[in-house]
């Protein structure tokens, strides 16, 4: 990748290619619960972003737009041609959204798994005490102080939000499923006593609905049995969403006959 190497794994056959994008500071192994099943459905790819897992660190700090450009180069050099069904978890949803808005003709479908959400702090502010707001901001300060292995995700929070408000809102007209974690007990176990759980779940559900509405084919699903890692708690729900989007993408692919669709 111009002075550093990224690790990529590919399995399965068929089109469209599913690209799995992990959350912040998490390697591609986070997708282990789904990897065999998705690879049995179609060609599937997962990779470690720079500085994570088996990938080397970047020689410089990049922005989220740089991460998107990096992914596109990686797919091209691995000879994995579009169209892609992009599946993101947490911060990975932000990467996927900016990719889809930047290269809409290369995207056949989208699945967002409890994505990191823009405007969450602002929309939670009315439900927080002064101390709660201080602790919320302190959480970001702690991340900035300790750094992160990617060297970009949170150190450039403002730029990430800008990318979401710009490219991230220009989603292509493709099948889209948005999954939002809804397990109250799992949220409570985070130990964030200063965050009112019911308000948090309400706000994240509202944002999930709005995110699904960014696409004309968007659908919002509440993962009632899941905490943030939906693909661990309810892998069957995430797999069903991926399968739904892949099949819809195949059905709408130019030149695909009814016989070809039924045989896939």
Residue 130 lies in a domain: yes
Instruction: List pLDDT tens digits, range 80-122.
Output: 999 999 999 998 999 999 999 999 999 999 999 999 777 887 8
pLDDT at 98: 93
Total of domains in the chain: 1
Going from the C-alpha of 213 to that of each of 103, 124, 206, the distances in angstroms are 19, 21, 11
Task: Supply the DSSP symbol for 247.
Answer: H
pLDDT at 195: 79
List CB contacts of 100: < 8 A, sequence separation 6 or more: 86, 107, 110, 167, 168, 170, 171, 172, 174
pLDDT at 34: 97
Q: Per mean pLDDT, which range of 73-77, 88-92, 161-165 is the poorest?
A: 161-165
Quote the CA–CA distance of 94 and 113 in Å, as a whole number: 11
Residue 1 lies in a domain: no
Yes or no: say if 22 and 31 are a contact pair by the CB < 8 Å rule.
Answer: yes
Residue 264 lies in a domain: no
pLDDT at 188: 63
Residue 98 lies in a domain: yes
What residues make up the domain containing 82?
8-252
Residue 207 lies in a domain: yes
Q: What band does 135 get if pLDDT is binned at 50, 70 and 90?
A: confident
What CATH number should be reported for the domain holding residue 79?
Answer: 3.40.50.1820
Residue 262 lies in a domain: no
Residue 2 lies in a domain: no
Instruction: List pLDDT tens digits, range 164-218.
Output: 677 777 899 999 999 999 998 876 666 567 778 888 899 999 999 999 999 999 9
Q: Which tokens belong to 264?
A: 């896939």
Residue 152 reports pLDDT greater than 60: no
pLDDT at 147: 54
Q: What is the mean pLDDT of the chain?
A: 86
pLDDT at 30: 97
- Whole-number CA gyration radius for the chain: 18
Yes or no: say if 194 and 135 are a contact pair by the CB < 8 Å rule.
Answer: yes
Residue 84 lies in a domain: yes
Q: Per mean pLDDT, which range of 103-112, 173-182, 238-247, 250-259 is the poorest?
A: 250-259
pLDDT at 68: 93
Yes or no: say if 106 and 83 are a contact pair by the CB < 8 Å rule.
Answer: yes
Q: What band does 129 get if pLDDT is binned at 50, 70 and 90?
A: confident
pLDDT at 161: 67
Mean pLDDT (whole number) for 26-38: 97
Tell me if residue 18 falls in helix, strand or coil: strand
Pick the more confident residue, 52 or 192.
52
């Amino acid at each position: 990748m111009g002075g550093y190497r990224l690790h990529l794994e590919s399995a399965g056959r068929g089109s469209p290619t599913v690209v799995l994008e992990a959350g912040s500071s998490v390697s591609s192994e986070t997708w282990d619960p789904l990897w065999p099943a998705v690879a049995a459905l179609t060609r599937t790819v997962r990779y470690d972003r720079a500085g994570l897992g088996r990938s080397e660190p970047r020689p410089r700090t990049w922005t989220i737009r740089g991460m998107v450009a990096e992914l596109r180069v990686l797919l091209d050099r691995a000879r994995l041609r579009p169209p892609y069904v992009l599946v993101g978890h947490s911060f990975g949803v932000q990467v996927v959204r900016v990719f889809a808005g930047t290269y809409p003709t290369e995207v056949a479908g989208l699945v967002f798994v409890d994505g990191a959400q823009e405007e969450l702090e602002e929309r939670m502010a009315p439900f927080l005490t002064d101390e709660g707001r201080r602790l919320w901001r302190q959480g970001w300060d702690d991340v900035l102080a300790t750094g992160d292995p990617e060297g970009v995700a949170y150190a450039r929070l403002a730029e990430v939000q800008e990318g979401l408000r710009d490219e991230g809102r220009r989603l292509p007209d493709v099948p889209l499923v948005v999954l939002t974690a809804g397990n109250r007990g799992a949220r409570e176990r985070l130990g964030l006593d200063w965050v009112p759980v019911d308000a948090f779940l309400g706000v994240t559900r509202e944002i999930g609905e709005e995110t699904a509405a960014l696409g004309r084919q968007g659908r919002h699903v509440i993962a009632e049995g899941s905490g943030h890692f939906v693909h661990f708690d309810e892998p069957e729900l995430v797999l069903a969403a991926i399968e739904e989007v892949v099949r819809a993408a195949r059905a709408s692919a130019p030149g695909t006959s009814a016989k070809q669709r039924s045989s896939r």
